[in-house]
A and B are shown apart, each in its own frame.
Chain A
Amino acid sequence: MNFLSLFVLVPVLMILALFLSKNRKQVLAIMVTGSSLLVILSANLVYQYIAARNAGAVDPMLFTSSVAWYKPLNINYSVGVDGVSVAMLCLSSVIVFTGVFTSWRIAPLTKEFFLWFSLLAAGVYGFFISTDLFTMFLFYETALIPMYLLIGVWGSGKKEYSAMKLTLMLMGSSMILLVGILGIYFSSGANSMDILEIVKTTIPVQQQYLFFTLTFFGFGVLGALFPFHTWSPDGHASAPTAVSMLHAGVLMKLGGYGCFRVAIYLMPEAAEKLSPIFLVLTGIGVVYGALVAIRQTDLKYINAYSSVSHCNLVLFAILMLTQTAMTGAVLQMLSHGLITALFFALIGMIYGRTHTRLITEMGGLMKIMPFLGVCFVIAGLANIGLPGLSGFAAEMTIFIGAFENTEILYRVLTIASITSIVIGAVYILRTVGKFLYGSIQNPAHATLDDAHWYERFAVITLIAGIVYIGSFPLGVSDMIHESLGNVVAQLVR
């Protein structure tokens, strides 16, 4: 068995172990062991991947293996990774690992919570390692449904509404994606649903137009494509902390990853022709998300809209179709994954203490809980794009890459999108100023305690990731850049 399958096997074993577990201690032990194992697996994968590339491996995907699954339908269980999926797998491991620590005190039904959490993780890992369209779609759907129960049971606020809205919108888009996938396979005439086989064929251009739209839309909705992003703010606001982290940090990346792995990689001609339409949408999304964030008073909504803006930026960069911009897109996925997870973790911790998320009801928290306050400021600065933190490296790469396109529309859209950085500074600084600094608004808050050890551990892990990508981006971006060569080579430009 290929060692990549371990990424799915470990969460599945975690689920089985959770079924047998008796009390909270055992549940936490299983989760910590499992998620640490996944982190070790990812570290090992990075090491092996880089070693293999240095040894001169030039295949688009490494460590591939394929086992016939449903033979009559030409469906295989095929796995393989390139630089992008390696980066995504690492991100997932970090978020899952820290997610476990932020939900240390989740109650009631601790066991069930982690059961769904692990199923979600299994789906996410499976999606990133698989190269077969069916397997990919299977894992994609597997990752979606646990959200319903995670938000519905453990969420807060208008959780039933948000959970249903999120599930129906995401499932709806995935059904459209399903038609796209079937269309890609049948119009390519390939004799396997493996992406690496389909890419060798040429899909007729007319079919490409149709199925590119369906596929890009299908994945795009999960990537918060404007104007189909509306599930995201409500969903994030109602979800429990770890779920928001996992969802904004990893699940939304499935959308961006799928857009480029399936839609653009397999249908380059249509991508060339249709990219302006989607670019306009994502461009609007980038600015719109940032503008809406200014007017929010709920911390989770602020971050959710900021996420919409950044996720649209990912799709925007992918659609620029230059190698640099796409590298930036993947960097942005990594960076946004870490930053937004950090944000949600901190918001969850603050909410757990103050029992409010409205910035108007809080003030001077920096004096009461300095650790959380400082970390929040770091997250905010990373979000704006302070050099040395990951946001800068990612957005810089994106905008340089976007400017490589000389056509006027691309230029205009790029310039418009850059304004989101400025707007980002407005809402971040305003938020931080309102609820961290100033005088203490609510005297009851004065007695609250600072972060516990498990919370500090999670937060510091995430910040370490942000600082690493921000300060030493070359190692990561080289790995990604190299792999994207195959995708860009498909484009006719």
Chain B
Amino acid sequence: MDYFSNFIYMRSEVSLLGVILFLLLYDIIAGNKGMRYFQPVAIFLFAVHTALNLFPYEAGESFGGMYQYEPIMTVVKTILNIATLLIFLQAKHLFDGDAQKNKRGEYYFLTLTTLLGMYFMISSGHFMLFYIGLEMASIPLATLVAFDKKDKKSAEAGAKFILSSAFSSGIMLFGISYLYGTAGTLYFSDMASLITSNPLQIMAFVFFISGLFFKISLVPFHLWTADVYEGAPTNVTSYFSVVSKSSAVFVLMTLLFKVFGNLVTEWHNILFWIIILTITVGNLFALRQRNIKRFLAFSSISQAGYIALGVISGSSLGMSTVLYYILVYVFSNLAAFGVISAIENRTGKLSIDDYKGLYQTNPKLSFVMMLAMFSLAGIAPFAGFVSKFFIFYAAAQQDLYILVLIAAVNVIISLYYYLRVVKAMFIDKNDHPIQTLATDSWNKASLIICSAGIISAGLLNIIIDTITKYSFGM
């Protein structure tokens, strides 16, 4: 096998790298005139990249098993691509301020680099590549969080994130080193059979898995989430809440299924309690939030708990339902963030109280926000209902009725706070509602795509059929 045929399975990485390099050069070469077209060019190129990598091909591995490809990874990467594309569409106002005016290139470069890191993380077959991918996905993210460097909150959030991220990486590396010490290999495929339930390995596993839980922000590893979400520019927050989280969930799932299959009873127990904690704590904290970004931070924590409910079932169906849930979550959450950034950019208002009476002045934005809230809460007939049902279905199939019951009861708590936003917009009276806003056409496009996704993803069976074709279980 000659050197270049190694790249045959790395098509998506190569094409993403192409986009990144092109944008980097464009940023350097293009003058002021060219920079005006930067966003359209970036979106166009990224859309082409998404379209090129839409179809899965046969499974295989490169670089002696360092890099592994399976068709399901195309599905995951496509979901991440769609999410990133939607976030790019919402990014226009990120560059409004004086400090950010010339940072277009950096924004796209950094975002796409983290995405590349996630690609590597997803497709890795070796702990080394996995770790490199993980760091590549974290460090530029910290820069993005501090994107608005004149804003103290943003800078603080950036520092907070890089510190806690480094800490969790340290813990994870510590776990990996023990795994290496006990197994003598770092290849996923070799390690699976060398994992036995000896206490040292279990300890190493717990350290390792904590690092991943941190990424997904499962309770009790969630403490960074709310502050970082609040401080980061809204666009970056939405990137955090969907893309970064989804990739980590998928990696968690493949690792648990493929590498730690022998420790199934252990991780089953760990996840069982973590899920209960995550859903409940996330929900209870979300109840009290007044700031809509903090509110969505806690809501996304509890959503992560539901996603983990699909992971714990350990079946092929569990994997399909998780991916489906993530796709629906992408649409719903990005719809919410799209509306929030549209309002924040024009008025700077971020409190739920500011949304009172929004329907009178901005019926369309309120309608999209309502769809998003209903979908996040899991209300029929929107996609969120179907995806929640599927997650519960996968868990009930494994007789996890207790978990399903707890999660289902939590749906009611979450319903209360999601409805609070709807109530503010539609029912509450306000003498000075936010004035009628004109949303820019890019953001409008993203909101239309999200709404279409929320309404149709639950009714079309083609999505779940496609995902199921490629997913695998333990």
Contacts and interface: CB of A to CB of B under 8 A. Distances in A.
Contacts of B411: 171, 175
Interface string B62-100: 000000000000000000000000000000000000000
B396 A160 contact: no
B401 A179 contact: yes
A175 B379 contact: no
B317 interface: yes
A168 B379 CA distance: 12
Interface in B367-421: 374, 379-381, 385-386, 389-390, 392-393, 396-397, 399, 401, 404-405, 408-409, 411-412, 415-416, 419
Contacts of B374: 145
B389 A134 contact: yes
Give the interface size class of chain B: 20 to 34
B180 interface: no
Contacts of A175: 408-409, 411-412
B interface: dominant SS: helix
Nearest to A72: B468
A478 to B, nearest CB: 35
Contact of B427 (A69, A141, A142, A152): A152
A69 B461 contact: yes
A148 B419 contact: yes
Contacts of B416: 164, 168
Contacts, number: 92
Interface string A168-183: 1001100110110011
Contacts of A159: 427
Contacts of A71: 461, 465
A426 interface: no
Interface in A401-436: none
A479 to B, nearest CB: 30
Contacts of A472: none
Nearest to A143: B380
B320 interface: yes
Interface residues of A, number: 34
Interface in B456-474: 461, 464-465, 468
Interface string A193-234: 000000000000000000000000000000000000000000
Contact of B317 (A72, A176, A186): A72
B149 interface: no
A70 B427 contact: no
Contacts of B426: 149, 152-153
B423 interface: yes
A72 B419 contact: no
Given A70-B464, A175-B411, A179-B408, A141 B401 contact: no
A138 interface: yes
A310 B422 CA distance: 33
Contact of A160 (B381, B401, B405, B427): B427
Interface of B: 317, 320, 374, 379-381, 385-386, 389-390, 392-393, 396-397, 399, 401, 404-405, 408-409, 411-412, 415-416, 419, 422-423, 426-427, 461, 464-465, 468
5 contacts: A68-B461, A149-B422, A153-B427, A178-B392, A182-B396
Interface of A: 68-73, 123, 134, 137-142, 145, 148-149, 152-153, 159-160, 163-164, 167-168, 171-172, 175-176, 178-179, 182-183, 186
Given A123-B380, A175-B409, A179-B405, 5 more contacts: A140-B380, A167-B415, A178-B404, A179-B392, A182-B404
A-B pairs, 5 with minimum CB distance: A141-B380, A175-B408, A182-B396, A72-B468, A152-B427
